[in-house]
């Protein structure tokens, strides 16, 4: 496997202003890595990076990765995390989701190829669909409905994995694929449609907490700090993946809702609503490969991560925060030069 500097000297993060991207940027900066953050601000927001935007090691660039990509200078690592990721977003933005998974991935891979950089693709547990194998190992091919409402996200990520593998085998690009399971933590948008931010927002407002179906479907939720640590271990390892990163501790959705109500001290009650189409019945990662190849295991307990997340939401909502994308991006942080050529064309 190719040896890379640890930490990398200079990294590019696509989707840098999103939930996961902003945590990656923050951690890379703390390790002394210079970061070029690319984001169209379609679903991400500059507010997620407000606390580090003046950091001398960060250059935040308004950039649609499906258009043209130009990053001057050396790059050691490309982390491709640009994509709508919540059901609310990819159901509203189906074409954009497919484009960033295909064209955007090609451009990010082309950038890594041109720079001789390590490339890590943010894939997802959604590639397993509504799984018929439990827990889900990396060898499982999945059970996905390509024409269902979730198909735009699922198939975009499956295609991105195939494209990443093709660049590795045909062009010799040093690639890695991380399959990310349900993750939670500060900077999730209260209205992004995912279970935990929805439950926390409802509980803090004293509203009914809406649980899909009977709530007996399961999820395995990982605190964001653990996820970021796993991603960067994969980035420095040279391992091709795919590698599951997620907490194998499985909870029912009803249990998650009940724990949120308890953690917020809310008087909210559960309200049961219809389940979305193709909603998976079970979801739990087989993390043996992550443990063996990366030495990774989750460290933050569900209760501790939930307490941190509730505290963040309580403060953010008290300040009037909505989690919605803002239009006040700092164009002065840099922009894609006119006439730039598409990376990887």
pLDDT per position as a tens digit, 86-112: 888 988 999 999 999 999 999 999 999
Please give the pLDDT value at position 322.
47
Please give the Cα distance from 200 to 215 (Å, whole number): 16
Instruction: Tell me which of 279 and 315 has the higher pLDDT.
Output: 315
Predicted confidence (pLDDT) at residue 335 exceeds the cutoff of 50: no
Asked if 150 contacts 278 with a C-beta cutoff of 8 angstroms, the reply is: yes
**Over the chain, what is the mean pLDDT?**
90
Q: Is 167 a catalytic residue?
A: no
- Where do the DSSP E strands lie in the chain? 10-14, 34-39, 58-62, 77-80, 118-124, 175-180, 183-184, 209-212, 218-220, 222-223, 243-245, 250-252, 270-273
Predicted confidence (pLDDT) at residue 306 exceeds the cutoff of 50: yes
Average pLDDT over residues 185-195: 92
Q: Looking at domain 10-183+223-247+284-298+323-333, does it have CATH number 3.40.50.720?
A: yes
Please give the Cα distance from 38 to 44 (Å, whole number): 11
**DSSP result, 74-114:** --SEEEE--S--SHHHHHH-HHHHHHIIIIIHHHHHHHHHH
Predicted confidence (pLDDT) at residue 340 exceeds the cutoff of 80: no
Predicted confidence (pLDDT) at residue 151 exceeds the cutoff of 50: yes
Nearest residue to 61 via CA among 332, 324, 327 = 332
Percent of the chain with pLDDT over 70: 91
Domain ranges of the chain: 10-183+223-247+284-298+323-333
Model confidence band, residue 344 (pLDDT cutoffs 50, 70, 90): very low
What tokens does 66 get?
A: 């499906």
Helices (H) and strands (E) counted in the chain, each on its own, are 10, 13
pLDDT (tens digit per residue) in 257-269: 999 999 999 999 9
DSSP-derived letter for residue 290 is I
| CA-angle at 290, arms to 284 and 292, nearest 5° | 130
Report helix angle 195-204 to 253-264, nearest 10. 40
Taking phi over 0 as left and psi of -120 to 50 as alpha, with beta for the rest, 221 belongs to beta
Look up the pTM and report it.
0.90
Q: Exactly one of 90, 153, 167, 223 is catalytic; which is it?
A: 153
């Amino acid at each position: 496997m190719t040896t890379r500097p640890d930490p990398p000297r200079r990294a590019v993060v696509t989707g840098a202003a999103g939930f996961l991207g902003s945590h990656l940027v923050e951690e890379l900066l703390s390790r002394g890595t210079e970061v070029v953050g690319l984001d169209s601000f379609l679903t991400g927001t500059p507010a997620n990076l407000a606390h580090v935007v003046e950091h001398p090691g960060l250059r935040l660039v308004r950039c649609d990765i499906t258009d043209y990509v130009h990053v001057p200078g050396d790059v050691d690592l490309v982390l491709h995390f640009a994509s709508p990721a919540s059901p609310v977003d990819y159901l509203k933005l189906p074409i954009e989701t497919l484009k960033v998974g295909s064209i955007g991935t090609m451009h990010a891979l082309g950038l890594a190829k041109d720079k001789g950089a390590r490339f890590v693709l943010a894939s997802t547990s959604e590639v397993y669909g509504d799984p018929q194998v439990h827990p889900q190992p990396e060898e499982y091919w999945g059970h996905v409905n390509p024409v269902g409402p979730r198909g735009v996200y699922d198939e975009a990520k499956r295609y991105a994995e195939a494209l990443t593998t093709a660049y590795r085998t045909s062009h010799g690009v040093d690639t890695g694929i991380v399959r990310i399971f349900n993750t939670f933590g500060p900077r999730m948008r209260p209205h992004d449609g995912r279970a935990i931010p929805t439950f926390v927002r409802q509980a803090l407002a004293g509203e009914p907490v809406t649980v899909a179906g009977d709530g007996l479907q399961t999820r395995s939720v990982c605190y964001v700090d653990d996820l970021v640590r796993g991603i960067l271990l994969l980035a420095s390892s040279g391992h091709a993946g795919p590698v599951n990163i997620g907490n194998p501790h499985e909870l029912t959705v009803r249990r998650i809702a009940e724990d949120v109500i308890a953690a917020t001290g809310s008087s909210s009650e559960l309200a049961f609503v219809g389940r979305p189409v193709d909603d998976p019945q079970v979801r739990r990662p087989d993390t043996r490969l992550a443990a063996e190849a990366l030495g990774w295991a989750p460290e933050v307990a569900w209760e501790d991560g939930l307490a941190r997340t509730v505290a963040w939401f309580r403060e953010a909502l008290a300040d009037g925060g909505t989690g919605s994308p803002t239009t006040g991006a700092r164009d002065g942080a840099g922009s894609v030069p006119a006439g730039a050529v598409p990376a990887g064309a």
